[in-house]
Structure 1
């Protein structure tokens, strides 16, 4: 174990630094968009990294506050009345998740169609790119953690790009261009493997370049210098004795109210679904194709949410943006997720003034690279080659997520995915083959009432005085309606002088009255 940790340490540390840089503005942005204290997002990121990371069975997924829960959290805080009352519902939601995990409810994660998961990943990639364009132009009205199509200022993803071009901050553009150039340069294998340059990941060089360029503006181009909302903004402590002031503790005074339990159950269920989707997607990104135990993940999330609620943090889920950044940065084990949580905890407390110098346009460059890796043109081509039954649910999921939000888009994609699953099963469950006047009716695997019309249509094609074999040996399940159709055909076959041979089917010939 120690040898393996040492072997992977370089990769996990590098990945953790990139994930930290991605997580820092997202944790703050999600908290602000949720109507919660900014520190609550950072607490959730720390708990998600260290606690959930340690308990999780996933090798590459990263947990923290989720953009997909922003609207739910905002509405829940309003319905509960105060943030401490809302924190109490997070504690109970965590206990519900823990119970679901112990009851092995995570198996539901195995039933998400592959095409929908790929669509979700691609949509997240496109959203990252589209949402970072305004930040690249220095138009930082929209919070970095927001992934919804309609923004808080009633602009949408596309109109925000137009406003960003129209009302840009000129100083942001050189920063993002230099950062992008550095990141692309560090994608070169020769740079990555270089003894000196490969020690520090490109994302850190990109951030350093952003801080340096913005500082130089103050000397040579003061009107270009970025400040205020254009920079990372985390709370600054005057001394470590003020740590307690950053925490908020739960209020359980409404635990007997129905509203309290509705909010807790909603957070538990939606958070669990987002987690299961994210770890499934993370496993598909994992270059080693390792599989995460879903029920164990629910247990880890449950413990994480219970702790996060107790010390003033937002709800925690596995999150695909940070997980994608983790994989894209070369993470080997779950230690990268844990290290990113440690970095959040230490650096936010130790050097907040330095972190507050980072331009958001610089971090946008990091997310551009992550987004491109998730939504490369080659992904669209490969899914298209798999056939329409895979491509249509994939593209519907992508479009639905782009124009709504993650959970709604996934729901729409699931409907289309299940439709094609049923359609495929409908077509292939019953087949009719003819050779020289001999007919073979084959029942494959599960034959439900949905196949009744197809079966009747095939049986009607069989002419009088034919020989028919009905083979049900491959059928694991035959619905009662199907059995009735077959019984009626067998019972009426003597009238048409049809000779029927039945294999692997128990039937009763109806008596004529």
Structure 2
């Protein structure tokens, strides 16, 4: 792919950017609402995340904007710091810290998360998207301020919101959502294969246009109409002065307050982690399997957060919902992310009244398709077939995300993944050959692995303690490149036990064979450093 010509793939990037725009718009507003911040701050973050971060990032298909995972932190921080202007200063400083992370090459952290956890993250987010959009699908928009955590800020949870929606179905909004979903499925599975025009004009755009037309036609109809409570709500400035007045600016006078710096570090750490995990996930989803330079991504995100904080925007991360929508819609290069940011900017300035005619339920139908593509049931079968060491961390991550929140779910999955590694390390510390009998003694050969650490203490100690009396043990360390001091101490103690139990030991190393070594510590100290 010729990256020197950013417009080469415009016929793929432009339709994808439109889809990402319609996915991002309600998310920008909803996250701002959930964060207890002005609605306009979410749009600012979406615009900067698209245009600025999109241009600076090395990711070709990642899309950045305000993140639901930070909503709880933002909500708490605004109250703790006393004002939104003080919080904006923390966002700016958080961006500076992220830039330092990039300079210090901290981007490698993302590579230490197992593939099973990353796949679990994607699937869990897909399920959460579906569950969170079901109420909006039925026209129940009482809690637009919800994030993507299981428990909402008002005390409700994901499943109670679904039950509430069933008891409060809005006929018009539901009808639009069902028809919109039908358009999306038909477009995706049938029409795109029939003619090129259906690949150029994306299904989500058609569904949204249908939603606007339906709202206009049925306006005033009590049964089939859609009330303003079920529509997108973008701030509508009356003139240029009122538009400019929507911007807020950081209070640099509070820069010496310790609590400002604590929030700044929290934002930098959480935003960086979310971004690095998203980068890892989107690289896996990328059909072209391109690799995003993670340190450059931290520099781009830090710059974006500095600018966002300076003009009144929320903190920015790369976001898997927007990024996956971009990939699934055929986005090829970063132009898709940049154009989506330009569309947000143009729409906020020129057509806010038109945007406010879009039913939230039709946007819910778009997100249901996005969620399904992330959490296809077939993936559970594929992970199960890979074995329990892949399946257990995958399932724990999914359940953790669905029933707690994104970071807790990832943490649980990572914890289980580490336990699996420890179990594998326990099992692979040595190879024990089948015993036979020679000269009246049991003959057993134990071959130690290439690297033996304190994780392997339990397994090796168990094997040595279970050796019967009158045994002839061959201990082969020729393949061992690293032997932890803890293991050497176990062998040292075993030399005493061996004499008491009439066990003869033959130590086989690259230096030769030693019968009944008197000191393992001295022997391994004298081994070559490469061993």
Same fold (TM over 0.5): yes
- SS across alignment from 1:291: coil
Residue 451 of structure 1: aligned partner: 456
Residues 211-290 of structure 1 correspond to what in structure 2 (within 5 A)? Answer: 211-218=212-219, 221-240=221-240, 242-290=242-290
Indicate the larger mover: 502-511 or 415-424: 502-511
**In the TM superposition, what is the alpha-carbon distance from 1:242 to its structure 2 partner?**
4.2
Quick one: distance in 1 between partners of 2:293 and 2:479?
31
**In the TM superposition, what is the alpha-carbon distance from 1:428 to its structure 2 partner?**
1.1
1:314-333 per-position Cα deviation (integer Å, ceiling 9, x unaligned): 00011111111111111112
Residue 474 of structure 2: aligned partner: 469
Residues 360-399 of structure 1 correspond to what in structure 2 (within 5 A)? Answer: 360-399=360-399
Structure 1 residues 376 and 468, CA, compared in 2 at 3 Å: closer, same or farther?
Answer: same
Residue 69 of structure 1: aligned partner: 70
- SS across alignment from 1:168: coil
**In the TM superposition, what is the alpha-carbon distance from 1:418 to its structure 2 partner?**
1.1
Quick one: distance in 2 between partners of 1:501 and 1:464?
18
Quick one: distance in 2 between partners of 1:306 and 1:217?
45
Quick one: distance in 2 between partners of 1:484 and 1:227?
75
Quick one: distance in 2 between partners of 1:248 and 1:211?
32
The alignment's TM-score, normalised by the length of structure 1, stands at 0.94
- SS across alignment from 1:500: strand
Residue 296 of structure 1: aligned partner: 296
Residue 500 of structure 1: aligned partner: 506
Contact 1:47 1:304 survives alignment (8 Å) = yes
Contact 2:58 2:292 survives alignment (8 Å) = yes
Quick one: distance in 1 between partners of 2:69 and 2:174?
29
Indicate the larger mover: 484-493 or 5-14: 484-493
Quick one: distance in 2 between partners of 1:500 and 1:491?
15
Contact 2:477 2:507 survives alignment (8 Å) = no
Quick one: distance in 2 between partners of 1:162 and 1:466?
68
Structure 1 residues 124 and 376, CA, compared in 2 at 3 Å: closer, same or farther?
Answer: same
1:224-280 per-position Cα deviation (integer Å, ceiling 9, x unaligned): 211222100111123445442221111012211111111111111111111111111
Contact 1:16 1:340 survives alignment (8 Å) = yes
Residue 111 of structure 1: aligned partner: 112
Residue 492 of structure 2: aligned partner: 487
1:189-232 per-position Cα deviation (integer Å, ceiling 9, x unaligned): 6525623333211110000111111222127x343211222100
- SS across alignment from 2:254: coil
Residues 321-336 of structure 1 correspond to what in structure 2 (within 5 A)? Answer: 321-336=321-336
The alignment's TM-score, normalised by the length of structure 2, stands at 0.91
Quick one: distance in 2 between partners of 1:235 and 1:400?
35
Indicate the larger mover: 286-295 or 32-41: 286-295
**In the TM superposition, what is the alpha-carbon distance from 1:430 to its structure 2 partner?**
2.3
Say whether 1:441 aligns with 2:446: yes
Quick one: distance in 2 between partners of 1:54 and 1:386?
38
Residue 164 of structure 2: aligned partner: 163
**In the TM superposition, what is the alpha-carbon distance from 1:7 to its structure 2 partner?**
4.1
The number of equivalent residue pairs is 511
Structure 1 residues 425 and 497, CA, compared in 2 at 3 Å: closer, same or farther?
Answer: closer
Quick one: distance in 2 between partners of 1:73 and 1:399?
25
**In the TM superposition, what is the alpha-carbon distance from 1:27 to its structure 2 partner?**
0.3
- SS across alignment from 1:267: helix
**In the TM superposition, what is the alpha-carbon distance from 1:403 to its structure 2 partner?**
1.2
Contact 2:278 2:318 survives alignment (8 Å) = yes
1:152-188 per-position Cα deviation (integer Å, ceiling 9, x unaligned): 3322111111111111111011101111111111113
Residue 191 of structure 1: aligned partner: 192
Structure 1 residues 459 and 504, CA, compared in 2 at 3 Å: closer, same or farther?
Answer: farther
Residue 340 of structure 2: aligned partner: 340
Quick one: distance in 2 between partners of 1:273 and 1:113?
14
> Unaligned stretches of 5+ in structure 2?
438-442, 521-531
Quick one: distance in 2 between partners of 1:350 and 1:435?
82
Indicate the larger mover: 334-343 or 240-249: 240-249
1:319-348 per-position Cα deviation (integer Å, ceiling 9, x unaligned): 111111111111112221111111111122
Structure 1 residues 500 and 464, CA, compared in 2 at 3 Å: closer, same or farther?
Answer: farther
1:94-124 per-position Cα deviation (integer Å, ceiling 9, x unaligned): 0001001110111111111211111111111
**In the TM superposition, what is the alpha-carbon distance from 1:379 to its structure 2 partner?**
0.7
Residue 510 of structure 1: aligned partner: 519
CA RMSD of aligned residues (A): 2.2
Quick one: distance in 2 between partners of 1:193 and 1:98?
47
- SS across alignment from 1:99: helix
Residue 15 of structure 1: aligned partner: 16
**In the TM superposition, what is the alpha-carbon distance from 1:471 to its structure 2 partner?**
2.9
Quick one: distance in 1 between partners of 2:466 and 2:433?
11
Quick one: distance in 1 between partners of 2:324 and 2:468?
59
Structure 1 residues 62 and 504, CA, compared in 2 at 3 Å: closer, same or farther?
Answer: farther
Contact 1:26 1:144 survives alignment (8 Å) = no
Structure 1 residues 273 and 2, CA, compared in 2 at 3 Å: closer, same or farther?
Answer: closer
Quick one: distance in 1 between partners of 2:261 and 2:222?
53
**In the TM superposition, what is the alpha-carbon distance from 1:505 to its structure 2 partner?**
8.4
Contact 1:45 1:65 survives alignment (8 Å) = yes
Quick one: distance in 2 between partners of 1:102 and 1:340?
28
